[in-house]
Structure 1
Amino acid sequence: MITKKVRTKGKLQLSRYFQELKKGDSIAVIREPSIRASFPKRLQGRTGVVDGKRGKAYIIKIKDQDKEKKFLIAPIHLRNVGK
């Protein structure tokens, strides 16, 4: 179960909620516990590449063994790790 630390409980960083990512950016999937995630728990901590944007969510390519899979994930659950 993913929980927040005591000092960050209830807080939501709006800058992370409205962050802009570019196609090709390398990201890490970090679930925000205060918001219901619409993707599987097994993606927690995985890294991937931004493939595009659909509505407010981003299309993320994540390599699973030898296959590439695409997931739609809201920006609040993503962190940019550079290139």
Structure 2
Amino acid sequence: MPRSHGYRRGSRQLMKKKAEEKGMRPPTYLLHDYKIGDKVLIKINPTYHKGMPHSRYHGKIATVTGSRGRAYILKVRNMDKVKDIIVRPEHMVPCGEE
């Protein structure tokens, strides 16, 4: 059987929560209002599938450049290029908090 090349390929350990982390996070993280120029850490939360960035961006520092609906537009460095990605706040943490 040929190997699959899906969007979530190779993310078995990355998209897994520990037993103590299972369930919903408290809603306070959704109340954080990000402004243009804020630095954020992209931390994928596998509980929510909407607005999830590609797994290659997990753990990267990004800059908020705008908003689009409930999501934010982030400028993140990928290898030698700067990319714009659209991410919802469930997958972002303010830089310095973890």
Q: Normalising by structure 2, what TM-score? A: 0.75
What residue identity is the alignment partner of 2:47? Answer: S
| Contact 1:18–1:75 (CA under 8 A) maintained in structure 2 | no
2:75 to 41, 61, 83: 61
Higher strand share: 1
Q: Which range is displaced more, 30-39 or 70-79?
A: 30-39
For 2:55 and 2:79, the matched residues in 1 are separated by 17
User: Any runs of at least 4 consecutive aligned residues in structure 1 with deviations exceeding 4 A, and if so which?
Assistant: none
Bigger CA radius of gyration: 2
Corresponding residue of 2:21 = 8
Corresponding residue of 1:73 = 87
Structure 1's unaligned 5+ residue stretches are: none
Corresponding residue of 1:45 = 59
Q: Give 1:41 deviation, angstroms.
A: 1.0
Q: How many residues are aligned here?
A: 82
Q: Secondary structure at the match of 2:95?
A: strand
Corresponding residue of 2:6 = none
Corresponding residue of 1:23 = 36
Q: Secondary structure at the match of 2:32?
A: coil
Structure 2's unaligned 5+ residue stretches are: 1-11
Greater relative contact order (CA < 8 Å, ≥ 6 in sequence): 1
Q: Normalising by structure 1, what TM-score? A: 0.86
